[in-house]
Amino acid sequence: MDLREKDGLALVKVNRKNLIEKLKENRGKHKKEYDEAVEAYQAACVKELQDALKKVRGWKTAADYDDVQVHNYPPGHHLKEYDRVLASLEMSVDEDLVITAEQISQFVMDEWNWSESFRSTANIYKTAAAAVKGRR
């Protein structure tokens, strides 16, 4: 591995085709995680709406009236970030590229600045969906 440093940044020489392959693999994993989070989000929304409807149907007098809200936010995805990097790599005419260690973390290890937040949100919905399925 060719490891250099420029302006205080660790630089790594990588094969462009291998990098594209790895980034496509990581994009596929991200898409799968996102699709699973959307499915779980849908189940969480249905549960919250059913609970709200049950509450509303239980109102007998004006004193029972309560503010009913739904608080779920849809999961987001970062597919455009993968696509932007892939487009850049695919347009390059170089066989080998020099990238930073931070880019290795993102493109190869799939550790972006948003990764933890994305997975945390996805896991919240997956946990909620599992709880709903467990009650059936």
Per-residue pLDDT of the chain in tens (136 residues, 90 and over written 9): 455 666 667 899 999 999 999 999 999 999 999 999 999 888 888 888 888 898 888 888 887 777 777 767 888 999 999 999 999 999 999 999 999 999 999 999 999 999 999 999 888 888 877 776 666 5
Per-residue pLDDT at 55: 86
DSSP 63: G
Which residues lie closer than 8 Å to 9 by C-beta, 6 or more apart? 100, 101, 102
For residue 1, give the H/E element and its range: none
CA 102 to the chain's CA centroid: 19
Which residues lie closer than 8 Å to 25 by C-beta, 6 or more apart? none
The predicted model scores a pTM of 0.81
Per-residue pLDDT at 7: 60
Q: For residues 121, 124, 127 and 132, what is the CA-based torsion angle, rounded to 10 degrees?
A: -110
